[in-house]
Structure 1
Amino acid sequence: MSSSNARFNHDPHWQLEKKKTNFQTARESFWKSRQLYLLLLPALIYLIVFQYIPMYGAFLAFKDFDPSLGILGSPWAGMKYFEMFFGGPNFGSLLSNTLLLSMYSLLIGFPIPIIFALFLNQLRPGVKRFVQTVTYAPFFISMVVLVSMLGIFLQPETGFINNIIVALGGDQINFMASAEWFRTVFITSGIWQTMGFNAIIYLAALSSVSPELHESAIVDGASKLRRIWHIDLPSILPTIIILLILAVGNLATVDWQKALLMQQGMNLSTSELIQTYVYKAGVINSNFSFGTAVGLFNSVINFVLLIAVNFIARKTSGNSLW
């Protein structure tokens, strides 16, 4: 029997027939799910056009770019622009500002949607829908409008925040022009805008929790807080870990459009980030090679963080992206 199997395994005609069978199986599987693949097509096209094709532009970081020669025709510059950035006077402040703002946003902003979703899940359906709609709506406010609203709310003379501070006996604060208040305003406004939207995925995960677990816990006399801690939270823990990995993988990527709109001359010491610097150096000053080098460095940081936190999560919890 073993010699017969060995003969068939080394028979080229049998191997060709096996390959044809595998190909036919794959083709039949694809045809059965053709509607699903059709739905996937727009997302695939988006990734190719806006994520993969632009990678070609990374060559600019190693070139002395001349628009008349094109990317491939421009002379090589090696690590020239990386050395300019690392040796520049702004490198330390840019890196610290970006990482500090990102870490504060992660430490403060990441747990809030989880806590909000856990408590929102305990409300009655009608109240739950109303609260979810109210907290979900700010996500659709454009960034320009949001920063304009912040300027109105936080205005020293007429802003209602300063009116409350003065009414309580405090002094007026120019939040938008203050370097020490920039991170606080940036993070709190971001939490207000995205909390309801970010809670949706946790609410979806909570909907899969078996009601029988809660019924058994109620029979045993467990309070709502105990049921949240021992049933709901462990049930959504894999989702939390996956989203945390993705969040850490984007740690060096801050919402730079918002930071740029909030920038003023008096808060540049904390509001100047790597991304805003790339925009000014690469687009406004037309130094495309230098801007690409700085942006590529930022992407490398994100990549290293993503690999590291995914490895740690896989070793400690068994949940990971791959």
Structure 2
Amino acid sequence: MLFDRLTSRFGIAWLATAVGVPALLALALLVHSSLQPAAAPSTPRPVAPTDTPSSTPPPVPDETIPAAAPAPRNLPVVDYSPAPAGFPADPRPLSTTPLTEGVAPARNIAAYDAPGGRPLAFLAPTISGVELTMPVVERRTGWTAVLLPSANRRIAWLPQGGWTTVALRDQIVVERTPHRLTWYRHGRALHTWPVSLGMPGQSTPLGRTFILGRTEPPEAVYGGVDIFALGSVPDDPDAVPTGLKGAHIGLHSWHNDDTLGEDATNGCIRLTRVAQRKLLAEVPAGTALIVVDELPTPPATA
């Protein structure tokens, strides 16, 4: 507070002399009134990607950097299977604020449950042969939090070293209620397309995830267009058909567009072949993809 900083530096007597006793009392009253309890916050809602955060907490210059505990060599390596348990929840899973930086491991790096916390697994440079890039969601002195692959709404904390940063310019927002996908670049909506989403019991998982990589279509029903595998998995793995056990949620096209605008998939996001080819050509791995029920205002495309 301004009042606290002035009194701690110069003292009450100096302030009284400099500004006068009446002015000093008025300043103290103003500061006191600003400390009154605020009204209870309303339920958080997703914001449009073009919105910017209202404020960014300033860094604490003398913050102690928690040391990274040595990671045992026998920790599991995160792969295409579900990630190990114990990682913390994404603190802002429905935030549509663009994530503009990613982390690419240069070697196996230990992933922790908190800054200075427990190492729970290793993150490798590749998953199933695809180079791994994870969006950054938070930073603290000496530590970086990323979206965890092969998990829903979970993050991992990384100490410094063993990874490089990658600039991310794109973002994909999927709205479940209007069955709409919008592609953003630098916070500007470029294209909007209708999509099919998960049927009841196999709903497309809410929250932030990212494009893990691309793969060739295993069957003709995908319309002959490559598939984007996402970092998320079905919320209820036991609800999906036997042939899809262990699979990730995908972003892909279909051999026809008959079910666009409907809940008809096993949790995947299905769009037209033209739209999928456009995204494959323009959007790299590591790009954040956020699933919300609906944005407060419909996106206006350029």
Q: Normalization by structure 2: what TM-score?
A: 0.19
Instruction: Specify which structure has the higher proportion of strand.
Output: 2
Higher relative contact order (CA 8 A, sep 6+): 1
Instruction: Specify which structure has the higher proportion of helix.
Output: 1
